[in-house]
Structure 1
Amino acid sequence: MKTFPKDFLWGAAISAPQSEGHGSLNGKSPSTWDKWYEMNPEKFSKNQGPEHTSNMYETYCEDAKRMNAIHLNSFRTSIAWTRLLPDGKTVNSEAVAFYRSYFNELRSNGVKPIINLFHFDMPWWLMKKGGWEARESVEAFAFYANTCFELFGDLVELWTTFNEPMVHVECGYLYGYHYPAIHDLKKAIQVGFHTLMAHTLAVKSFKEGKYSGQIGIILNVSPCYPKSQSKEDLEAAQLADLLNTKSFLDPTVLGTIPENLIELLAANELLPKVETNDLNTIKKNTVDFIGMNYYQPRRVQAPTKINQPALSPADFYEHYDWSGKKINPYRGWEIYPEALYDVALMIKNEYKNIAWYVSENGMGVADEERFMDQTGMIQDDYRIEFMQEHLAQLHKGIEAGSNCFGYHSWTFIDCWSWLNGYKNRYGFYRLDLENDQRTLKQSGHWFKEVVDRNGLI
């Protein structure tokens, strides 16, 4: 029996834009996703846009009971900035009523709400002003964050500012998967710095307001493994780790931006615009805890061609395929549970053993109806195996002294996933797109047993 710590948080994660639906209703203004779908629906899988998603705006009461039925004791979702403050300043009273009722339903069903403030859903009104490229976004986000603390602070004990900030940086400004889908390394770095400052001012507001509870950030952490022990491959791994992990983890936890990152950016004429007191503000406003999303490792090798100054991350490192990898063919992602142990030790040894939890870990599979039995239940043994293997490595890290307080699967119910729509399914509950009906999968039964035991057999 692998027993987890007392009061361990067992739950699931989702986001507002991927689950609520009512994308253009109830006073909500458009996000970049709403407008991008309006402009270019052909980019979205099967023309599945963000309007309806999993319709939790209507079903949250029943869904909270479904969480209780499989004994989840916590659930992370987000507030839609566009719903709460449609123009950035004016509070939407219907949104306040919705979120207060939503969070109360969770609590009354024994489910602790962990509330995130930004999950890739940039308001369109702000995007027209430059989005995260504009310094105005920093103050706008701080105002939004403080509004949330004031309106919902009596219902929420654990807050996070951003989910995977590196993703909206690289997907929007390097690789073309999020709006505005441009390829500009210098803009990406400025977007990253403004995101860091928006996070920092939100933490500052939380602490100065003396709100109860704790505040953190959710980062996607993929440990960097070099192809070989050659000097070039080791340096590539160090740079990949510096750019993708330490760039947010160091300032949010330690209060400092790594000196070698500053030197790297300066050498490549990529330093962002910084205001006079920014670095001091970062130093004074570190987080209480960290959420870590983990799906796959990052395997890198030395770049084959280097531009100077750099034009893309490929000038610092390149990816390589490890021949011995196990893979999820539906996402093309390597399955490597051992990295979760490495993450646990990294946090213990390099980041003051700060309190942290696994905020996302899951397996997306297409066409799950193939695995439906005669009763209508999906027998997702592959998902159970995936979670078992990762939880075993997490338990090993906790036994080694890492201060982990929870594990959240992605996700509670099959949800809409950006350009991929509903192509891959992740949920404990299956969603029928025809009628919004929810049906528990075998993994949901299994997870309930894990929660009841507070451990793995």
Structure 2
Amino acid sequence: MKYTFPKDFFWGAATSATQSEGRELNDQKGENIWDYSSVKYNHRFYEGVTTEHTSNFYKEYKQDIQRMENLSFNSFRTSISWSRLIPDGVGEINQEAVKFYRQMLQEMKQKGIQPFINLYHFDMPMALQEQGGFENREVIEAYRRYAECCFELFDDLVACWFTFNEPMIPAEAGYLHDRHYPYVVDFKRAATVLHHIILAHCEAVNVYKKNYKGKIGIIMDIIPVYPRSQNPADLKAAEMADLFYTRSLNEAILKGKYPSELRNVLERYNQMPEVTPEDLDLIEQTKIDLLGVNYYRPRRVKAKEYLVDVTGIFSPEWFFDDYVMPGRRMNTSRGIEIYPEAMYDIAKKIQNDYGNIDWFVSENGIGIQGEEAFIKEGMVQDEYRIAFVKEHLQWLHKAMEEGSNCLGYHMWTFVDCWSWINAYKNRYGFYRMDLKTGEKTVKKSGLWFKTVIENKGFD
């Protein structure tokens, strides 16, 4: 069977500023929470790799964009670094950053690669984090001014903007589960951060729509939930996992209101953040043009096996246990399940529950540890990545044939990049990066992906 995609389908890859740009002498970049934490809490980062160089995109953007053209990309997503553009988060603009981003965007345009530009990818300027980051309502206004600045400076070169990448993560990983700086463990503070991020998103969307003509949206991390069984207790567990980790965010953004069940639970356990009637009006009135969906793994859950200690720290995990399904396919490098069929389920959910909004796969990929073991004759023979992408595209194609408005597919990532606390432990790229020499070489999957783009599909 041939899997054919539309001729104007977006094909490409995604990365972020912090994970790819690196830093150069006299670049005038301000410090963000990753620059700070990867040094101050260096023991938390795999092999102690900091943000200093990452994948050298700041220095090598022309060569990297040529590599994108070599693979026939027609689009590419990255982010603007808030702390590079406005070193203190508010105030003076770094003209070196303006020059870099304009030159980078012009280079993409010249190569026929459409930039998808994201404003925030986990990288709060340290000066604002010291004022509370998104826990502080005043930072919403700082973000709005930053977004306005980006639109003014770069909108002539950008037709697709995104406010946030995976807005759940700064709240959940930074304020509840002790994975990202500031390493807080407090649900109510996490809920406050998420609410303020949603408000910041709304402010940016509204500023854009009043003054500009392109498209603006958001990138969501979707982890579809599957219950262990049809037992009512397992179904309830799945419902609660979905309520906290998916619906709490998706319904605010895509339906204009928080689920009433969420408010009921949070009020019962005294975990409601401060939410004003004006906040709810703003959320209700804000509509996006384009949704990005990041999908890597499913979430499988079951009913709780033991009573919760209610004197402990409130958490969504009070209402469900993770379920380890026998026989599941695993990416053992990451310790996560491979389940391509969920791509279809996500597409149908968007089609049936969220008005069939225009959307695209903004991230999907497989990170492998020790990829050097697969190098033959100078090239990574990553057949596993080809198989992974092919299976996910097959399920996506099925949903599109049934009417899902999916407009594109972006792989994570283009060149092996620095991956937060895992640094370079797991490799995701179409190009391999040699950490000692900085050399970037195409993998077999990159050449295969090029044929998919040029043939508008595959057999």
Give the TM-score of the pair, scaled to structure 1. 0.98
8 Å contact kept, 1:153–1:212: no
Q: 5+ residue gaps in structure 1?
A: none
Query: 2:354 is aligned with what amino acid?
Result: Y
8 Å contact kept, 1:23–1:50: no
8 Å contact kept, 1:251–1:286: no
Partner residue of 1:277?
A: 278
Name the SS of the counterpart of 1:277 in structure 2. helix
Question: 2-side partners of 1:388 and 1:305: how far apart?
Answer: 43
Shift of 1:307: 4.7
Shift of 1:90: 1.3
Question: 1-side partners of 2:219 and 2:25: how far apart?
Answer: 27
Residue 318 of structure 1 is aligned with which of 318, 321, 329? Answer: 321
Question: 1-side partners of 2:76 and 2:309: how far apart?
Answer: 44
Query: 1:368 is aligned with what amino acid?
Result: E
8 Å contact kept, 1:75–1:111: yes
Partner residue of 2:302?
A: 301
8 Å contact kept, 1:225–1:300: yes
Partner residue of 2:52?
A: 51
Partner residue of 1:91?
A: 93
Partner residue of 1:68?
A: 69
Q: 1:316 to 1:53 in 2, by over 3 A?
A: same
Shift of 1:258: 1.3
Query: 2:307 is aligned with what amino acid?
Result: K
Question: 2-side partners of 1:52 and 1:24: how far apart?
Answer: 11
Partner residue of 2:17?
A: 16
Name the SS of the counterpart of 2:432 in structure 1. strand
Partner residue of 1:388?
A: 390
Partner residue of 1:124?
A: 126
Structure 1 outlier segments of 4+, above 4 Å: 307-310
Query: 1:179 is aligned with what amino acid?
Result: Y
Asked if 1:353 corresponds to 2:325, the answer is no
- Give CA deviations for 1:304-359 in whole Å, capped at 9, x if unaligned: 32355871121122211111210000000100000000000000000000000000
Question: 1-side partners of 2:262 and 2:230: how far apart?
Answer: 22
* Alignment size in residue pairs: 455
Partner residue of 1:367?
A: 370
Question: 2-side partners of 1:263 and 1:449: how far apart?
Answer: 51
Question: 2-side partners of 1:321 and 1:23: how far apart?
Answer: 45
Greater displacement, 215-224 / 271-280: 271-280
Question: 2-side partners of 1:262 and 1:411: how far apart?
Answer: 37
Partner residue of 1:404?
A: 406
Question: 2-side partners of 1:35 and 1:427: how far apart?
Answer: 26
Residue 185 of structure 2 is aligned with which of 140, 161, 183? Answer: 183
Shift of 1:284: 1.0
Question: 1-side partners of 2:70 and 2:213: how far apart?
Answer: 29
Shift of 1:286: 1.5
Question: 2-side partners of 1:23 and 1:420: how far apart?
Answer: 23
Query: 2:345 is aligned with what amino acid?
Result: D
Question: 1-side partners of 2:333 and 2:24: how far apart?
Answer: 28
Shift of 1:253: 1.5
Question: 2-side partners of 1:106 and 1:34: how far apart?
Answer: 27
Shift of 1:201: 0.7
Name the SS of the counterpart of 1:407 in structure 2. strand
Shift of 1:291: 0.3
- Give CA deviations for 1:228-284 in whole Å, capped at 9, x if unaligned: 111111111111111111111112112111111111211221111123411111111
Q: 5+ residue gaps in structure 2?
A: none
8 Å contact kept, 1:131–1:137: yes
Asked if 1:78 corresponds to 2:79, the answer is yes
Query: 2:442 is aligned with what amino acid?
Result: L
Partner residue of 1:235?
A: 236
Query: 1:353 is aligned with what amino acid?
Result: N
Q: 1:307 to 1:146 in 2, by over 3 A?
A: farther
Asked if 1:150 corresponds to 2:152, the answer is yes
8 Å contact kept, 1:226–1:236: yes
Name the SS of the counterpart of 2:220 in structure 1. strand
Question: 2-side partners of 1:194 and 1:23: how far apart?
Answer: 33
Shift of 1:181: 1.0
Shift of 1:24: 7.3
Give the TM-score of the pair, scaled to structure 2. 0.97
Question: 1-side partners of 2:255 and 2:149: how far apart?
Answer: 27
Query: 1:301 is aligned with what amino acid?
Result: K
Partner residue of 1:338?
A: 341
Question: 2-side partners of 1:3 and 1:307: how far apart?
Answer: 53
Greater displacement, 117-126 / 306-315: 306-315
Alpha-carbon RMSD across the aligned residues, in angstroms, is: 1.2
Name the SS of the counterpart of 2:300 in structure 1. strand
Query: 2:93 is aligned with what amino acid?
Result: V
Question: 2-side partners of 1:154 and 1:305: how far apart?
Answer: 57
8 Å contact kept, 1:23–1:34: no
Partner residue of 1:445?
A: 447
Question: 2-side partners of 1:305 and 1:24: how far apart?
Answer: 55
Shift of 1:23: 6.8
Partner residue of 1:259?
A: 260
Name the SS of the counterpart of 1:52 in structure 2. coil
Shift of 1:25: 4.6
Query: 2:272 is aligned with what amino acid?
Result: L
Name the SS of the counterpart of 1:66 in structure 2. helix
Query: 1:363 is aligned with what amino acid?
Result: I
Question: 2-side partners of 1:411 and 1:38: how far apart?
Answer: 25
Name the SS of the counterpart of 2:379 in structure 1. coil
Question: 2-side partners of 1:24 and 1:124: how far apart?
Answer: 19
Identity %: 49
Question: 1-side partners of 2:288 and 2:266: how far apart?
Answer: 25
8 Å contact kept, 1:358–1:406: yes
Greater displacement, 231-240 / 19-28: 19-28
